[in-house]
């Protein structure tokens, strides 16, 4: 891979890989971080279940060729009822020696200890029905790589780019455009490092898609858009939260409003305006929240 990049005069590059290709990407990001600008790992793993199964598969292929494995490939690669005959045919026609060498590489591959050193912005894409590298394998990587995001692709098995090309392409476009990294940076600037760190620590496989969604779209696109200032966005956000009665979230954005440059008097004026258009009871609750939050912050200063 590096030889190819060098031959093309490319020093830093974005990398996306599926299965073994994803493992190659992880290896590059750990051992050659200066070369990898951004990384997408699709239906892959930091380790592939130990050496014995792959050594056995390599020996079998060297003895018998690829016919038997090709016959069972659709059940390993795709969800029931879906197949890509051309890929299965290519698998059947592959060079057995080359395939066995790939098995040898997977038998020896275990990069778990190096994941925390990865600095490239990283997205993990998992096929929700993948039996070979299930979502838990990608979650292990996401938990270890700083700032990594995991997206599960529904109705997809091991070759998710074949089964769900639109979903995979959308995730790759969003990642390589820089939206998640930009969104996380803006989120930290507005809500503070402590809040974002807590959110990331609590993140699970169940909540990861939502955290990724708000980092990409709420913070990476809406809040990052320069049409409105952050002061203006804080005023709008506080009003919307009062209107919906979302007082826990309002407390978060009272603090954010201060970070965005609003004075206590301006925050109070905004809440007073909500009394006219959202109702006195809603504004009364909002003032109580704001008074508590501002007092807590002043005490902590």
Q: What tens digit of pLDDT does each residue of 104-124 get?
A: 999 999 999 999 999 998 999
Domain boundary pick from 167, 193, 225: 225
Rounded CA separation 133/124 (Å): 12
Are both 276 and 253 inside the same structural domain? yes
CA atoms within 13 A on the CB side of 138: 32
* Total domains in the fold of the chain: 4
pLDDT tens-digit readout, 179-233: 777 888 889 999 998 898 888 888 777 887 888 889 888 998 899 887 888 899 9
Within-domain flag for 238 = yes
On whether both 119 and 43 belong to a single domain, the answer is: yes
Paired residues of 47 in beta bridges? 110
User: What is the CATH number for 39?
Assistant: 3.40.50.1820
Angle at 167 between CA 93 and CA 111, to 5 degrees: 65
Does one domain contain both 188 and 140? no
**Structure tokens that stand for 218 in this block:** 């709420």
Question: How does pLDDT run across 1-57, given as a tens digit for each residue?
Answer: 999 999 999 999 999 999 999 999 999 999 999 999 999 999 999 999 889 999 999
**In terms of domains, do 76 and 215 share one?**
no
- Domain end position, chosen among 166, 199, 225: 225
| Residue 34 shares a structural domain with residue 121 | yes
Query: Hey, which bits of the chain come out as E strands?
Result: 13-18, 36-42, 122-127, 149-153
Q: Is pLDDT at 301 greater than 70 in this prediction?
A: no
Tokens representing residue 245 in the block: 């009665």
Is residue 300 situated within a structural domain? Answer: no
Mode of pairing for the β-strands spanning 122-127 and 149-153: parallel
Distance of alpha carbon 227 from alpha carbon 200, whole angstroms: 29
pTM over 0.75: no
pLDDT over 70 at 276, yes or no = yes
**103 and 136, same domain (yes or no):** no
Residues 97 and 245 in one domain: no
CATH number at residue 274: 1.20.1290.10
Are 152 and 246 in a shared domain? no
Distance CA 165, CA 204 (A): 25
The per-residue pLDDT for range 265-275, each reduced to its tens digit, is 999 999 999 99
Domain span at 192: 181-225
pLDDT at residue 281, rounded to an integer: 97
Per-residue model confidence as pLDDT tens digits over 236-262:
999 999 999 999 999 999 999 999 999
Dmax over CA atoms of the chain, in Å, equals 81
């Amino acid at each position: 891979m590096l030889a190819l990049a060098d031959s093309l005069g490319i020093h830093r590059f974005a990398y996306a890989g599926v299965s073994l290709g994803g493992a190659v990407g992880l290896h590059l990001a750990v051992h050659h971080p200066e070369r990898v600008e951004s990384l997408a790992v699709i239906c892959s793993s930091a380790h592939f279940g130990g050496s014995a199964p792959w050594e056995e598969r390599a020996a079998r292929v060297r003895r018998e060729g690829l016919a038997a494995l090709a016959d069972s490939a659709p059940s390993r690669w795709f969800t029931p009822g879906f197949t890509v005959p051309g890929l299965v045919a290519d698998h059947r026609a592959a060079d057995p020696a080359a395939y066995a060498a790939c098995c040898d590489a997977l038998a020896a591959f275990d990069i778990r200890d190096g994941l925390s050193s990865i600095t490239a912005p990283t997205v993990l894409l998992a096929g929700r029905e993948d039996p070979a590298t299930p979502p838990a394998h990608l979650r292990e990587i996401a938990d270890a790589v700083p700032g990594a995001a995991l997206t599960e692709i529904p109705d997809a098995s091991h070759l998710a780019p074949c089964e769900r090309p639109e979903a995979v392409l959308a995730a790759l476009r969003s990642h390589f455009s820089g939206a998640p990294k930009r969104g996380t940076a803006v989120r930290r600037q507005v809500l503070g490092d402590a809040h974002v760190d807590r959110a990331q620590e609590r993140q699970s496989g169940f909540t990861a898609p939502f955290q990724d969604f708000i980092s990409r779209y709420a913070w990476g696109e809406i809040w990052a858009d320069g049409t409105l200032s952050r002061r203006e966005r804080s005023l709008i956000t506080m009003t919307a939260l009062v209107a919906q009665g979302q007082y826990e979230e309002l407390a978060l954005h009272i603090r954010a409003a201060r970070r965005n440059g609003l004075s206590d008097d301006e925050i109070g004026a905004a809440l007073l305006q909500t009394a006219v258009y959202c109702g006195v009871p809603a504004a009364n609750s909002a003032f109580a929240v704001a008074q508590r939050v501002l007092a807590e912050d002043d005490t902590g200063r």
